[in-house]
Amino acid sequence: MVELWSVPEDPCDQFGRCGAFGNCDPYTRAGEFECTCLPGFEPKSARDWHLRDGSNGCVRKRVGRTCGNGEGFVEVSRVKVPDTSIATRVNKSLGAKACEELCLNNCSCSGYTAANVSDVVSGCITWHGDMIDTRQYANANGSQDLFIRVDSIELAEHAEVSRRLNGKRMVAVVVASVAAMLFVLFLGYMLVKKRRGRKRQDELLFSPNTTSTTLGASPERKGIDETGTNSDLPFYSLSIIAAATENFSIANKLGEDKEKGSLVDWRKRFEITLGIARGMLYLHQDSRLRIIHRDLKASNVLLDAAMNPKISDFGMARIFGGDQIQANTNRVVGTYGYMSPEYAMEGLFSTKSDVFSFGVLLLEIISGRKNSSYYKENSVNLIGHVWDLWREGRALEAADPSLGESYQAHEVLRCIHIGLLCVQEFANDRPSMSEVAFMLCHETTLSSPTQPAFIFKKANAGAESSSASVGAVSVFDTTITVVEGR
């Protein structure tokens, strides 16, 4: 039995595929004719060439100009030299330069090579007549460099092409070198900048145990977990935040400068409120990470010279994952009076916890009073006082008297309404920050608020504990550091 083997056919394996003075290149792009003419030559039959038939080969472009007319040689690299069995002279003793002179001095010499043709044939090889069966190789393995005799015109054209090609290569090398240098410099700059940033951050970072003393004389002591395990973000003091934001000052904490506060009209208070709402909306919805502040209050809002608000102090903030809406902790930290009931009592916190704190802050801005303030006539806190006035249809009486006539009644009533919606007892009843921002900016119909959380009356000092007493203790104006969950 005879086995037949086959390999992919290489068109250039056919002897004389491209005829005399033709060069067969099997590495051309798909669909292109593999035959080309050697330098200084053109197809003998343009029609046959167009029909992909190169058997007739090539002829010189200009006849009679290659003998004593300034002719020279053009190199064709990485080729199989033409057939050496015809019209060829071999001189084993000549080097490359002498071989060139030998061919140049003989007008019948069509080309030469000065290399090893085989294990037994080396030295100078010249062709006198047709050069047949030349083919291109992809690399230098087994290939030679062939020098073709051309007239002065072809020589000049080839020199110009070579000059342009070398120029482009030089430009490419220069551009690549400059780009590499710039890239290295950029990496060095970024590395130095990163190291300086880390060094600066190390200088600015404060440990959790020193944060409360750094805040200065604040009426509400900072409640944080002394173990340092309750926060996802670094702790920064107000002095650091003020330095980083340039125009914001510790003296401009919202609600702590009573003289300045009395000069703020309703329009500016509303703009501050809206700015805080937009800041919280960014933390909850628009930032790359969903952030729960957990300690939104007046002293954590800084104002610049133009009274623009900035939310500060993220020492207690927590980061939520993409689908996370609620978390639980048995180490409750924060400031009572601003903490939602589900967080203060059960350790549950969510975006609705921040909404509760915002509602308290909104009522404080409207009334000019702290939530921890107690009213002598019935000893309730600010939320309870506003709720009582709301139920009695006298909600406007909660507005700060220093506002004078700077406000429109329906705007203040609407903001009080929104504030009461935010401080409702159950988290599901409260609006989201996106809904709060929308309600502040648009005249939409608002739902009726339900009873707020933490409106219990303050117990008398001498009263005995009894199940019949109404809210034995108020939790306002108190700071908690750690509360163990049930």
Tokens for 82, please give them.
Answer: 């033409």
Q: What residues contact 446, with CB distance under 8 A and at least 6 apart?
A: 414, 417, 418, 421, 439
Beta carbons of 39 and 73 less than 8 angstroms apart = no
Amino acid, single-letter form, for residue 36 = T
Beta carbons of 227 and 367 less than 8 angstroms apart = no
Distance CA 207, CA 231 (A): 12
Partner residues linked to 149 by β-bridges: 73
The 3-state secondary structure of 345-386, one letter per residue: HHCEEEHHHHHHHHHHHHHHHHHCCCCCCCCCCCCCCHHHHH
Catalytic site residue 295? yes
Beta carbons of 381 and 361 less than 8 angstroms apart = no
Helix (H) / strand (E) containing 195: helix 152-204
Give the rounded distance of the alpha carbon of 53 from its chain centre.
57
Spot the catalytic one: 25, 133, 295, 400: 295
Tokens for 431, please give them.
Answer: 């609006």
Q: Give me the DSSP letters along 286-321.
A: ISSSEEE-S---GGGEEE-TT--EEE---TT-EEE-
Q: What residues contact 308, with CB distance under 8 A and at least 6 apart?
A: 275
Q: What residues contact 17, with CB distance under 8 A and at least 6 apart?
A: 11, 24, 34, 35, 54, 55, 133, 135
Q: What residues contact 61, with CB distance under 8 A and at least 6 apart?
A: 40, 41, 42, 154
Distance CA 18, CA 27 (A): 15
DSSP letter, residue 80: E
What SS3 state is found at 189? helix
Beta carbons of 450 and 425 less than 8 angstroms apart = yes
Positions marked catalytic: 295
